[in-house]
Chains A and B, each alone.
Chain A
Amino acid sequence: MDPLNLIYDLARGPLVWVAFAVFIVGSAAQLVRMWRLTSPPDETYVPRVKKADGKNKLPLSYRIRLSVAGSSPVTVAVTTLFHLCLVITPLFVLGHNILLDNAWRVSLCSFPERFSDVLTTVVIICAGYFLARRVFSERVRIISSFWDYLFLGLAAGPFITGYLAYHQICDYKLVITVHMLLGEAMLVAIPFTKFVHMLFFFVFRFAVASEYSLGNGKRRW
């Protein structure tokens, strides 16, 4: 059997389920670990500012201005767009849903292919922005390591290959095989590597109380 065909079959079959299993179990374990790092609310704590309406936080407009959205609005916009598209696009790509339907007879609704293509392009452009920032901005470069470049590549890889496959640029079979392998590698990497910030963000920005917290969580670090 042609080795490419063999890898293609593996990547399209068992490796997908292995990747999903590792991703789900690993993420659940990490979330439990993060939760256990936090402590229950401190009932004896007296807020520094207690306003008449009982709220301890500044109005939203102030908090936005004082937060990173105020100091780095472009990067915050790019990073929000990047992460949204990164999560949403693979869920609603027609090709993924067809595979899901073939395997389990279930699927999510799908975006029109042209729209998925636009979202894919957005992810690639945002990744280009992050790369440029890492290379040209001294404050980012000074704390960057080889791994930051590698993981940026790994995050963008499935989208770049997805784009190439959709537009039938290069050998389709090769590109789609690399696409699947990179996607699976990314799933497996989320709970155990730098990508863990995607889970970390939700626990510590929503559950833990702080001036800039995004939720009403009252737990403590």
Chain B
Amino acid sequence: MKKNTKGVDHRKIKNILDKNKAKIELSMKACAHCSMCAESCFLFQARNKDPRYMPSYKFLKTLGVIYKKKGKVDRVTLEEMKPILWKRCVLCTRCYCPMGIDIPYLIRTARSICRSQDVYYRYDEDA
């Protein structure tokens, strides 16, 4: 597999963050880190209840990190997020948070950010 060593265009990331700021900020704040959303993800159930498959883990360790760093993330970090966003989530939108957080939206936004930097899953190469 070829390594992507390009730089990161922080302006593009910042643009996506700014466009979604209100919803991201509120959702990150409202997440009680309670893990109650776990069972609603079929992949969590299918992977022996591995906590790394919890919906909240997926958005906190991706968009949560990018948001906290105000978009100032490096390529290695984005590459590390790739399997979380594509391999551990199929964006089926079935997850449900008892607080009302729109989890698929947060995962989708993280994917958009990665994609804006040319980081995405190539099923023919990365499988």
**Which of A15-23, A86-94, A137-145, A166-174 interfaces with chain B?**
A137-145
Q: Is A9 an interface residue (CB 8 A)?
A: no
Q: A139-B51, A142-B52, A193-B29 are in contact. Are A201 and B96 (CB under 8 A)?
A: no
Chain A residue nearest to B34 (CB atoms) is: A140
Contact B30 A200, beta carbon cutoff 8 Å: yes
* Residue interface bits B13-48, CB-to-A below 8 A is 1, else 0: 000000000110010011111111111100000000
Q: Is A71 an interface residue (CB 8 A)?
A: yes
Contact B30 A33, beta carbon cutoff 8 Å: no
- In A173-215, the 8 Å CB interface with B consists of 193-194, 196-197, 200-201, 203-205, 208, 210-212
Instruction: Give the residue among B37, B52, B101 with the most A Cβ atoms within 10 A.
Output: B101
Chain B residue nearest to A205 (CB atoms) is: B100
- Picked from B26, B35, B38, the residue with its CB within 8 Å of the CB of A37 is B26
In the bound assembly, the distance between CA atoms of A205 and B22 in angstroms comes to 18
- Picked from B32, B33, B54, B96, the residue with its CB within 8 Å of the CB of A210 is B96
| Residues in chain B near residue A138, CB distance under 8 A | 51
In the bound assembly, the distance between CA atoms of A212 and B39 in angstroms comes to 14
Besides A145-B33, A148-B32, A201-B99, 7 other CB < 8 A contacts?
A: A68-B96, A143-B51, A193-B29, A200-B26, A200-B101, A201-B100, A210-B100
CB pairs A–B below 8 angstroms (14 shown): A37-B26, A68-B40, A71-B39, A71-B40, A75-B36, A143-B51, A143-B54, A193-B29, A194-B32, A196-B26, A197-B32, A204-B101, A205-B99, A221-B105
**3 nearest CB pairs, A to B:** A204-B100, A71-B39, A200-B30
B residues with CB within 8 A of A: 22-23, 26, 29-40, 49, 51-52, 54, 56-57, 60, 96, 98-102, 105
A residues with CB within 8 A of B: 33-34, 37, 67-68, 71-72, 75-76, 79, 137-140, 142-145, 148, 193-194, 196-197, 200-201, 203-205, 208, 210-212, 221
